[in-house]
Structure 1
Amino acid sequence: MKMNPWTLSVLLLLAGPLGADPVWHVEYPDSFCVVEGSTATIPCSFTHPAGQRVERVVWCPNHEICSGTTPNVYNSSNVWDDSRFLYLGDRVRNCTLKIIKTVKQDAATYRFRFETNGDKYTGRKGVRVTVTVVKNVRLTVSSTNGEDVKVRSSVTDNVVKEGGQVTLTCTSACSFHQLDVHWYRNGHALPETSPALQLSCLTNDDAGNYTCSLDSSGQKTSAPWCLVVVEDEEKSGWRVTVSVVSVLLAVILLLLAGLVFAKRRHAQKKASVVNQKQEAASEEVSYSTVHFKPSSSRSAPGPEHEIVYSEVVR
């Protein structure tokens, strides 16, 4: 079977990339912005041929292949107890690296290397980390510098109706991708640590001044953003109607309860009068006829019982 030379050339060109082994790979962002003093997480993933076991992983700065005795920030064979570089990955696919309390000297190009029981590989592209210094806006009256930490809102007005929602975003010179952010309401810490703070089903308890900080010490804190939560007029009117109906129902129930109580008292009083009459009737005196039976031993009148009449002669 004859093949057109042009077709054959195309197939040969495709055979190269298709025949290449695509399983050795490290994926991370080209660049990463970190704010000095903050904590940042650099996302990373890797792949290797099936059937091979990863035995060692390494992160190093400013070295093309991270081999030999190259200085590194993380080495699975020699883990530093107090290192600010924390490996969040594993030996399967995840190679994420966390930098805690960054300093200016952390600015560098970092590369990840992994070694299997069959071969080794380094993601030579690397990720370039820049460290940005952010001013403490609490020492400035206005936040006009582009590097200041700011709170931006998804709504144009600070006033939001009750039951509504708003998204607050902590921004600075960095994109804040994978940065740990500390949120505060009226100076009290909130549990959220992501750059975006989602507030939904708002109530009056959510109102207050919101600030964000890039470190737990609060040295790099934004200017406060005030949230005001107002009642929804429709819901407020509905609540008034419900309240009025509830009061009327309560009054009706009280009247019914009073009526039932009065009837019960009347019935009890009537029963008491009847009982008193019955007790009075049982106390009346009953009269009986007394029969005297003549004595059988009584004899006929004798001489001693006879009356002697004497005549008195004058």
Structure 2
Amino acid sequence: MKCVFLDCAGVNPGDISWKTFQHFCTFQWYEKTEKEQMQERLIGAEAIITDSVIIDRKIMEQFTDLKYIGIAATGFDNVDTEAAEELGIAVTNVPAYASDAVAQHAAALLLYVTNKIHIYDDAVKNGKWNSKSDGGFSDVSITLLCGKSIGIIGYGAIGKRIAEIAKALGMKVNIYSRNPSAAISSDVVSLSCPLTEDNAGIVNEDFINNMKDGAVLINTARGGLIDENALARALKSRKISAAAIDVMALEPPEKDNPLLSLENCFITPHIGFSPLETRRIVIETCAENLKSFLKGGRLNRIV
């Protein structure tokens, strides 16, 4: 079987061996694949693996040898699963592999906002500490999280791990599915839910108006959950004191995205999943999923 990994750069930029795949299939991998490269790369392919490349009905119907689509992630919004089911194409994903890593990143984003490490590091290295006669300074206030509340939207594996970390910091946890109003009006709101048609743009102007004044927004889920223009307005007015996000609606964002110029919006390039340990799990699971399919199994099948 010919298997093509269309966009492996995020999962395996070269620090993980492909031997697991090479043992049982004809395997080709590419760091990135543009639309105009699909024709050449997918001729004769019976299996595709994608991280974020969109696989829609048109592609499935164009490449008639295709029998299997493996998603190198937990979310599957980049694959038309309805079309795949109709066309008899198997689809698998890698469930819950990055729960610890993404929860850790959510905590890191929150602590970056509250503890101002970047500001104080810069101050020390620029001599401001030395210039203080008493040897200490506190130019910017640090926020104590103990006693604060966090609203968690999406209480799956990642949301539960974020809750555990928050509780360890002494925070009160409000779970959106149990008490939406308490979650929205918390001191911190953290998104950890999958993106669906029903919740796309859930953090819109109305949602933000119901948030606590000066709250912090954390997003390590999907960028499409947020109306970025509404968020930009809220950050400018300080209705939301800060946002720390690892995902955006369009990745990478356009240069004129309003969030990029805001000093109280902190952005990382979708790296929450990316410790070497978790990326190894992705590669191993993708290989096991495909091997299971070839043997007639249904390991991690979505359709």
For the superposition of Structure 1 and Structure 2, which TM-score range results when normalised by the shorter chain?
under 0.3
TM-score by length of 2: 0.18
Higher relative contact order (CA 8 A, sep 6+): 2
Structure with more of its chain in strand, by fraction: 1
- Structure label with greater radius of gyration: 1
